[in-house]
Structure 1
Amino acid sequence: MQLAEIQSNKTMSSREIAQLCQKRHDNVCNDIRILNETYEKMGLLKIKDTLYTNEQNGQQYREYLLTKEQSIDLVTGYNRELRIAINRRWQELESSQSLTLPNFTDPAEAAIAWANEYKAKQALAIELKAAEPKINHYDKVVERKNLLNATQVGEKLDGMSAIILNRHLAELGVYNKSVKRGKVFSTWFIQKGYGEMKQSDAGFDQALFTQKGQAWVIEQLTSEGVV
């Protein structure tokens, strides 16, 4: 039986997490600050911050040091209270097993240990299954929170309407001209990370811009004198 070892003395820095998740460090730090607010409400220890020295300019900047549980809480979703509870449950299972190891040389005691572990995992599986719709809902909200529609992008262009903006974008080849119904991004636009195709709750395709895509649109239309 393989048992997880809890090593609370080890930490991972927010900079390393940002690198592993391919996110900007300031965005990760912002997520951590929000997570700390949730920890405070739940009476849990908050993630500690410290200073590090940048090797390139010699200046000091703030970073956070996260334990294993805190790292998992941060990266496994945005329904924080639900995910924190589930992660803490895993911690309880692992720590209780590591503190009270059964005598596996005794067949009867080993069988009881296996049965208890199976029951615990079954209970957690049921808990996760019940939480799945709520998790999926929050994941969908988070997935879209940094995406923008044409109307929102147009607001950054002196209030340009979505209809006029889409005409300019069509001329730039942003949309696939072979698709007559609705707006569908061209493959190159998606591959460059400028936009994503999402499905609305009603089942319709939506062309949504990333923050990077919004910056590209503004730069293109500004350079061409449109705005």
Structure 2
Amino acid sequence: MNQLVFKSNDQVVTSSRNIARDFDKQHRHVLEAIDAIKGVAENWADLFFQTTYTHEQNKQQYRQYLMNRDGFTLLVMGFTGKKAMQFKMNYMKAFNQMEQQLKELNKPSYMIDDPIKRAEIWITEQKEKKELETKNLVLEQRVSEYEPKITYLDEILKSTDSVTVSQIAEDYGMTGQEMNKLLNQIGIQYKMGGQWLLYSKHKGNGYTKSNTVDITHTDGRRSVKMHTKWTQKGRLFIYESLKEQGVLPLMEIRLNSKNKLDGVKS
């Protein structure tokens, strides 16, 4: 006996070719009838699904429709005759039987009365649960591996403004005075007349921007005060220079600690 219904995407369906075969109609006429329903049924896409099949003789592909119970009912309700009525009954019975089978397969193990089937379904559920947990763990690790980690270097590269030495010092947990002294100790700058100046080998590299301010003292004296800021290029130069000395910004220290901790966990 030819199969009347079958499963597709967790639904019980039949095909337009089955309808043509069993209701003694040409397949193209069945397709035309389904296309006509498309123009009037708002939920047509929930009832019919267009696919293709390969012709057994010429091996070419042609279109066909799959339909669920509601689509089938809508299509064949106009088919008349004793033979048509009998096939309608046969199809409805087939839909009922396979839908019941599908429900049994999808029923949670605790709802199954048969102890052997209940055990089999429980084992399948546990395997699927374990597979899902494994997939989630793998995905979690992949995400953590590819998750962008913002470093101090990233902070420098994304900024364009000049900054004071106090702002740079804050990144290292220092005061401005402590940073100036450290830069002096590693040969980047020296102090003259109350001003911090770059050593000649570092001048002209675009590390700093300075501007002068005229100051009038209370006794009438006038002097010039120079305010120096570090460009992002200079900030990067400080970062690389201090890194060579083993001095890192707080952000990088925290990131390195986190990476070590993650390595221990894994």
TM-score (norm 1): 0.32
Question: Which structure carries more strand by proportion?
Answer: 2
Instruction: Give the greater-gyration-radius structure (CA).
Output: 2
